[in-house]
Structure 1
Amino acid sequence: MMFLQVQNLTKKFNHKTVVNNINLSIKKGDLVAFLGPNGAGKSTTINMLIGIIQATQGQISLDGFTPQDKQYHQRIGVVFQKSILDDDLTVKQNLTIRQGLYQHLNRNLNYWIEKFSLQKIINQKYKTLSGGQKRRVDIVRALLHEPEVLFLDEPTTGLDIQTRELIWGVLNELRQEMNLTIVLTTHYLEEAEEADFVYVIDHGKIIASDTVENLQARFAQNCLTMQVKSADVQLPSGYQFQWEGDKVSVFVSTTDCLKILNQLADQIVTFDYRRGNMDDIFLNLTGREVE
């Protein structure tokens, strides 16, 4: 049985369908990524899952509870695109107030402060923090009560790579320690490549859903490009090659790549092999690059 189950989820605003009959099946402990261009319906879907807006139709079940149940909200944590913390309070004051909402906590505030390296900024006012510092505090706020599901709505947009690596390093540790389920929307395709399962959303519909490995096999081709000594080189049959100057390219599997390289070894000056990635998947499915 899936931990988080969504059936026929639909949302209309003024007769405009923003989310159209979406079905989701999410296993406990998985990292699940929602991909899609701006306006695809990702954030609206998240807002229905966390209970901020009500679905026009459809069912949402988290281990048997719905967004109308108190127990549902006790099991989830949310990091919004925009912070909901008080600018004029310090980091510690903001987190202490949040902590006071819960009666029984297994981990104290110091645990989270150390986990996300907040020691140096703990007494600064929230409004004085950098974007990356604010985001780390936002994530701690969402994790204080140790939710079973963490919803992240584009959590690392605009952050430097060091901050993104720190955040994901800690979140991956928590997935191991707490069996934490993470539902993510992101503009960074390299983050989606780490997901256990990916839903690609466009115009309010799920247009593809699978593991990263399976999506790559279906929608992202590996490309071998070779610079050869002569245009008269005898290329192996059974492949479609594309020429550009003294370079020739072919879409092949890793096994076929090795065969071609071995066969043409004495004719190759240099070569490059690029595996298909999430950029290719997204482009092939939506017809455009991620925005």
Structure 2
Amino acid sequence: MIIEVENLKKSYGKLLALDNLNLAIEEGEVFGLLGPNGSGKTTAINCMLSLLHYDAGSIRIFGQEMTPESYDLKKDIGVVMQNVAVFPELTVEENVDYFCGLYVPDRKERKDLVNEAITFTGLDEFRKFIPKKLSGGLLRRLNIACGIAHKPKLIFLDEPTVAVDPQSRNRILEGILELNRKGSTIVYTSHYMEEVETLCSRIMIIDKGKAIATGTREELKSMIHLGKKVSFEAEEITAVQIELLKNLPGVHSVEQSGHTVHLKSDEENGILEKTLAFLKDQDIRYTNIYSEMPTLNDVFLEITGKELRD
């Protein structure tokens, strides 16, 4: 195991931020850590990095106990936090060189690593720029270059695509997959469910400091009975017809928002046809009918009852 966390507890006064959290991450994974704001994600990461003292439990990285003095372990860890942390007076190249130099003292070796990181993040033409001359997306890429230049085996990425343009976002996501293909194990947090669903091999959902579900995308979806969703817009539909719709075989919920009706079914096949037949039988005029399978966001809401951006 790359990371082993057992019965981790952390309190801030009377607030229990982590409540016997257990976590195991294998080598080569892209592991997604999801939870609403205040769920304990950042606290857990800071404890794993030994940036926070915790009250009880144990943390092992690369099979060894992680402590503030574990410098031999930290040289193989890269950290890219949500808030951009670079020196404003240094250029792109100087920033990457500084952070790489914390782990790689040899200048010649470091020069090659810095060049590779700058090219990897698409910053070649911005080498001599200082941070205030960069766009938000380029700043994020610089943040990543500083965190991965020393070629760490384990990388923590906390919200790396927040408030970036689509081009930079795609470049960052492609870069994360490439880092993983090159052998890095990645711990990833994001508010963008589609990113987690695309990138992560396994996902843990935490809330109130506890792990409430862990598994692959498919395993998480199988934990709840969402089946398929059907949505349509109806010019007029009565309360009686909504109740009849709820009684269709396989339907477990129907919600109405204005003219839009959302139907959830335990069945993956046949529910669209049943809905169309019902609308025809009831002579309900409708538009924009479509069906879709449950997403990771549906799973999250079903398990936690919260929006991820709470």
**Alignment TM-score > 0.5, same fold:** yes
Distance 1:138 1:82 in 2: 9
Aligned match of 1:137: 142
Q: Contact between 1:220 and 1:276, CA under 8 Å: does it hold in 2?
A: no
Task: Identify which range, 211-220 or 135-144, moves more after superposition.
Answer: 211-220
Aligned match of 2:291: 273
Aligned match of 2:26: 27
Task: Identify which range, 11-20 or 23-32, moves more after superposition.
Answer: 11-20
- Does 1:254 pair with 2:259? no
Post-superposition offset of 1:181: 0.9
Distance 2:291 2:29 in 1: 31
Aligned match of 1:290: 308
Aligned match of 1:111: 116
DSSP-derived class of the 2:211 partner: strand
The change in CA–CA distance for 1:248 and 1:169 in structure 2 (over 3 A counts) is closer
User: Match for 1:159 among 161, 164, 167?
Assistant: 164
The change in CA–CA distance for 1:225 and 1:82 in structure 2 (over 3 A counts) is closer
Residue identity matched to 1:254: E
Identity percentage of aligned residues = 30
Q: Contact between 1:5 and 1:24, CA under 8 Å: does it hold in 2?
A: yes
Q: Contact between 1:220 and 1:278, CA under 8 Å: does it hold in 2?
A: no
Residue identity matched to 2:249: G
Aligned match of 2:42: 43
Aligned match of 2:212: 207
Distance 1:45 1:242 in 2: 38
Alignment of 1:1-291 (within 5 A): 2-68=1-67, 69-101=70-102, 102-103=104-105, 105=109, 108-176=113-181, 178-194=182-198, 195-219=200-224, 221=226, 222-225=228-231, 238-240=249-251, 242=254, 249-257=263-271, 260=274, 271-291=289-309
Distance 2:7 2:128 in 1: 46
**1:94-123 deviations in Å (ceiling 9; x for gaps):** 112223330465953222211111012110
What residue ranges of structure 1 are gaps of 5+ in the alignment?
A: none
Distance 1:213 1:191 in 2: 15
**1:181-209 deviations in Å (ceiling 9; x for gaps):** 11012111111212111111111111111
Task: Identify which range, 94-103 or 141-150, moves more after superposition.
Answer: 94-103
Distance 1:248 1:157 in 2: 30
Post-superposition offset of 1:162: 2.0
What residue ranges of structure 2 are gaps of 5+ in the alignment?
A: none
Residue identity matched to 1:21: N
Q: Contact between 2:250 and 2:271, CA under 8 Å: does it hold in 1?
A: no
Post-superposition offset of 1:258: 7.1
DSSP-derived class of the 2:50 partner: coil
DSSP-derived class of the 1:254 partner: coil
Q: Contact between 1:113 and 1:119, CA under 8 Å: does it hold in 2?
A: yes
The change in CA–CA distance for 1:99 and 1:249 in structure 2 (over 3 A counts) is closer
Post-superposition offset of 1:272: 0.8
Distance 1:264 1:15 in 2: 54
DSSP-derived class of the 1:193 partner: helix
Residue identity matched to 1:33: G
Distance 1:130 1:286 in 2: 35
Post-superposition offset of 1:166: 0.6
Task: Identify which range, 105-114 or 240-249, moves more after superposition.
Answer: 240-249
Post-superposition offset of 1:252: 3.9
Post-superposition offset of 1:278: 1.9
Q: Contact between 1:88 and 1:127, CA under 8 Å: does it hold in 2?
A: no
C-alpha RMSD of matched pairs (Å) = 3.0
Residue identity matched to 1:188: Y
Residue identity matched to 1:40: S
Task: Identify which range, 242-251 or 218-227, moves more after superposition.
Answer: 242-251
